Structure 1
């Protein structure tokens, strides 16, 4: 997704190699088990009602080990991703609950490049910024920093036809 963000404000929006494609599969570098599932691609392109999906996020059941990633919530009548860095400290234990938040984002995304282009042309590619607090340094000498980050999976709320699988 970084290449899409890089070209967001640069005509002709998408590089030629991407402009010839209809969908793109994006996976986080941490997800070593990510593979292209042709069943999901088929699901994208063959919607019975004629409304093709613009954004599919692969999810899995959340386990107690899944504490650093995100979960899905409904907010303003849209599906959104909530990351732990967005959760106030007072609610972190609630966020980590596998009974309250049962879904975990795998960072495998299927995105319609036509939808990305439309959002770019409408200047509606509103990527939320997450401020991620980090502690850096060696033992005995720690520096607390705040790293602003954007994540492509956060744009799930921007698309009109989204699904999770």
Structure 2
């Protein structure tokens, strides 16, 4: 007998709506509060799950990254970071919490290791992950054939910028 919860699409839509609203306001607040527009450069690393922003060669902001997942544009697929054995453990943060939430609540997109890339479904997964893991913001990077998707946490201004 299957004792997993059944998928309730209207419930999923409510979760996504709340997560989207939260992520949008937090993203806007992050960009405005830290001035993350204009002549800003950034550098990130999966090895230590860190991101830094600088202006004129001077770092003014650092944060911790959690990799959410990646999109292979040539294959048209999404892969959750928790299902990607090639990633450094530190880059995964608490992403397993997202998978467990999906299992516990019958939201299949969250515990599936991967799925066909549908931009709206990827956006929903990213927003729910951001909400569940209390992210300050979302970050994405495109490299050749791959889009990498991250959550940003623990933002800290450098000493001279507080």
TM-score (norm 1): 0.25
Higher helix share: 2
Larger Rg: 1
